[in-house]
Structure 1
Amino acid sequence: MRTGIILAGGESKRIGTDKGLIDLNGKPLIRYVVESLRPIVDEIIVVVGSKERIQHYRNAVEDDVMVVPDLYDDGSPMIGLITGLTHAKGDYAVVAACDMPFINSELVDILFLLSFELNGTLLIKPDGWIEPLPAVYNVEVGKRRAVQLRNDGDLRLRKVLETLPSVARILVERLKIIDPELRSFFDLDTMERYDEAMRIIKD
């Protein structure tokens, strides 16, 4: 069983509102991510930063999408990861952000396949930097390591897979065969990026 986890922590300081609920060409941004993951997972979990945001997100997604609040209040993506993995019923989970509207379903499917019998799949940029999202985790192993890192005071999301053994490592550039523009990694974190996303959709 596969789980899709979407991190929707809360308000963006650069945009000034809750990114996942921004209207992008007639539908909430979060809906694009849900629709990208739906063909390749068995359940979808949206993790929000507080209980007050739950209903807003429930109104934005289909009824079969689970919406849960962070287990802890610090608002970091690491807490969102721990929360999502705690609720996941799948053996493996893909984790993405709510502001990634162009995730390629086939690309994520390959990440799942590469993770088989391993602890996850790690994506590496040409400069050696680890791309933390999207990523696939072995649910139980990933949760244990994320909790351990949090307890040690390290909230860097990329450290979870980076410090686990038996992880598939793949260069992001190799994924251009599937996603030529690498739009799966496009994140909408400024209004300029919003305008760019609109141009992509209309093209």
Structure 2
Amino acid sequence: MSFNMTGALLSGGENTRFPYPKGLIKIGGTTIMGKTLRLFNNCFTEVLLSTNAPEIYFSIAPLFEHKPVALIGDVYDIRGPMTGIFSCLLNSSCDKMFVAACDMPFVEKEAVELLVCFANDNPDYDAIVPVHKGVPEPLFAIYNKSVLPVMERALKDGRKSMKFLLKEINTKYIDEAEFTAINSRSFININTLENLKEIEDSH
């Protein structure tokens, strides 16, 4: 099923705790980024990749048989995920955009579809953000173009915290209880080499 929505993958920042970009980590023989982008290609009418180093990801291009993946650089020289989300949303051809981080190896189609359903059922909200273990997940969420002015002001004022942004806009929080056990795997992310080893050992 293809939704009339943009899918945007954030390639991450400096990866100071990793020797290479986390999106290129292989789980089960496939890079995290390649797996998620293939899923987005099947789910959304448009797919964007937020990156300031496009040369790193050219090798992934052959994965996309159906749609091209546009590589979007930051429009402001301000580090952080909000800049990547803002830049992609600004370039999106759709009013709504599904965002995921590149270090989430188990993004499930069911979780994506469920979040899209919440967005369709709540069209007046600026953002649809799931809550996992009591904490909002702004990097696995849906944003409306209506947030662009608020994001831009926040970035220009040096307030690049996603937590701050969610308080400034009309955010619909989705309680963890509304996701099934398999959907909750989508929130697993890799922050350190130790995290990666734990995941590799469990597979």
Q: Structure 2 length as normaliser, TM-score? A: 0.85
Please, which of 147, 154, 159 is the counterpart of residue 149 of structure 1? Answer: 154
Q: Where does 1:130-145 land on structure 2 (aligned, <5 Å)?
A: 130-138=136-144, 140-145=145-150
CA RMSD of aligned residues (A): 2.0
The one-letter code of the counterpart of 2:43 is I
Please, which of 16, 23, 39 is the counterpart of residue 42 of structure 2? Answer: 39
Please, which of 120, 124, 128 is the counterpart of residue 121 of structure 1? Answer: 128
Q: 1:100 to 1:135 in 2, by over 3 A?
A: same
Q: Structure 1 length as normaliser, TM-score? A: 0.85
Shift of 1:126: 4.7
Alignment partner of 1:87 is 2:62: no
Shift of 1:44: 1.0
Unaligned runs of 5+ residues in structure 2 are none
Please, which of 5, 22, 31 is the counterpart of residue 2 of structure 1? Answer: 5
Unaligned runs of 5+ residues in structure 1 are none
- Kept after mapping to 1: 8 A contact 2:103/2:189: yes
Counterpart in the other structure of 2:59: 59
Q: 1:85 to 1:133 in 2, by over 3 A?
A: same
Shift of 1:82: 0.8
The one-letter code of the counterpart of 2:192 is T
Q: Where does 1:155-166 land on structure 2 (aligned, <5 Å)?
A: 155-165=160-170
- Kept after mapping to 1: 8 A contact 2:37/2:47: yes
The one-letter code of the counterpart of 2:128 is T
Counterpart in the other structure of 1:170: 174
- Count of residues paired in the alignment: 193
Aligned mates of 2:179, 2:41 — CA distance in 1: 20
The runs of 4+ residues in structure 1 deviating greater than 3 Å are: none
Aligned mates of 2:195, 2:25 — CA distance in 1: 12
Aligned mates of 2:34, 2:162 — CA distance in 1: 23
